[in-house]
Amino acid sequence: MTPEELRTREFETEFKISASRSSGAGGQNVNKVSTKVELRFSVTNSELITSEEKDIITQKLASRISNDGFFIIVSQASRSQIQNKETVIERFYELFAKALTPPKKRRPTAPSKSSKVRRLDNKRIVSEKKILRKKVE
């Protein structure tokens, strides 16, 4: 599933976005402006995702989901609140799309004939090298 497919569901209606003051260096701007943006999305109470998708998301994104069932993303990289808000929303869609994409099935393959020959030649060379290291009687 791609982020574009998820955007059609309009998750924005269930987002809870709040702004606060950023931490760290930045001088007076940090003390005056609330640029840090936090996005909260209730996975357990959402009506836009199915129960199967809720199970997948709670398993794959467990480290980002709080005990209350809220999926939380924070951004304070930019000095602009609007830019941080766009970043948070973009990361939300990317993380959900990655979590809901089913993993590829592994197709078992056998080693080729040339790779088998190469491996055996290498083993023979190493064996001869070790034999030459022995003391001669």
CA 114 to chain centre: 38
Task: Give all domains of the chain, ordered by start, each with its CATH number.
Answer: 3-100 (3.30.160.20)
Three-state DSSP at 29 gives: helix
Mean pLDDT of the chain: 86
In tens, the pLDDT along 47-104 reads 888 888 888 888 888 888 888 888 899 998 888 889 999 999 999 989 988 988 888 9
30: number of Cβ within 10 Å: 17
pLDDT tens-digit series, residues 90-113: 999 899 889 888 889 999 999 999
Amino acid at site 5: E
Q: How far apart are CA 120 and CA 85, in angstroms?
A: 58
Interacting residues of 42 by C-beta distance below 8 A, sequence separation 6+ = 14, 16, 68, 69, 70, 71
Q: Which amino acid is at 15?
A: F
Residue 42 parent element (H or E): strand 36-42
